[in-house]
Chain A
Amino acid sequence: EIVLTQSPGTLSLSPGERATLSCRASQSVSSNSLAWYQQKPGQAPRLLIYGASSRATALPDRFSGSGSGTDFTLTISRLEPEDFAVYYCQQYANSPRTFGQGTRLEIK
């Protein structure tokens, strides 16, 4: 099973700042089969990034994904008020599909 570890657990930033979220895998994620999701309270997760760096349909370009192998990053270039939420990475290279424990992005 691939274990995903996200850091930091909580990130406190202000609107307009840059956010950098990390996801590290316990073994290489083949074909860069890694996705990022955003979840707000009471809502279903929303797909942001797939294939480590491909943006989901209609996703603002302030969101970007990068990385390969075992180290992946989600970057939000300029935070908007609606970006404060919990973010999860997920690997789908093999079963079981696994998620990181999440990073909470909160307003400073």
Chain B
Amino acid sequence: EVQLVESGGGLVQPGRSLRLSCTASGFTFGDHSMSWFRQAPGKGLEWVGFIRNKASGGTIEYAASVKGRFTISRDDSKSIAYLQMNSLRTEDTGVYYCTRGYSSPSYWGQGTLVTVSS
């Protein structure tokens, strides 16, 4: 069974950093690209970015709203995808989801809540 479990969320002050992890199981992690999405409280879904698998070049793309502040990486030996978030802003508050794939993902984690507030 495919499982994605996000962790690392919490309360953080504006300007600080946080790293989210997405631990995968039930499939060959290295064969798949991984994506991050987020959802502000009471709002719609927003794409954050994705990282392709090595066979597809391992390239990474980001939404304009996070480019230069967020970094997506992966450790295929541990089956974990990461989202390093620096220079956090109040508008980064929301639930962050990781997904398998970068087109129309069918597997989503349960999400982890990030709250940016002083």
Contact = CB atoms under 8 A, between A and B. Distances in A.
B103 A44 contact: no
A39 B95 CA distance: 13
Given A96-B63, A96-B64, A50 B103 contact: yes
The range of chain A's interface size is: 20 to 34
Given A96-B63, A96-B64, A45 B45 contact: yes
B110 interface: yes
Given A90-B104, A92-B103, A92-B104, A44 B109 contact: yes
A99 B104 contact: no
A16 B63 CA distance: 40
Interface of B: 35, 44-47, 61, 63-64, 97, 102-106, 108-111
30 contacts: A35-B103, A39-B45, A44-B97, A44-B108, A44-B110, A44-B111, A45-B45, A45-B108, A46-B108, A47-B104, A47-B105, A47-B106, A50-B106, A51-B104, A56-B106, A88-B45, A90-B45, A92-B102, A92-B103, A92-B104, A95-B61, A96-B47, A96-B61, A97-B35, A97-B47, A97-B102, A98-B47, A99-B45, A99-B46, A102-B44
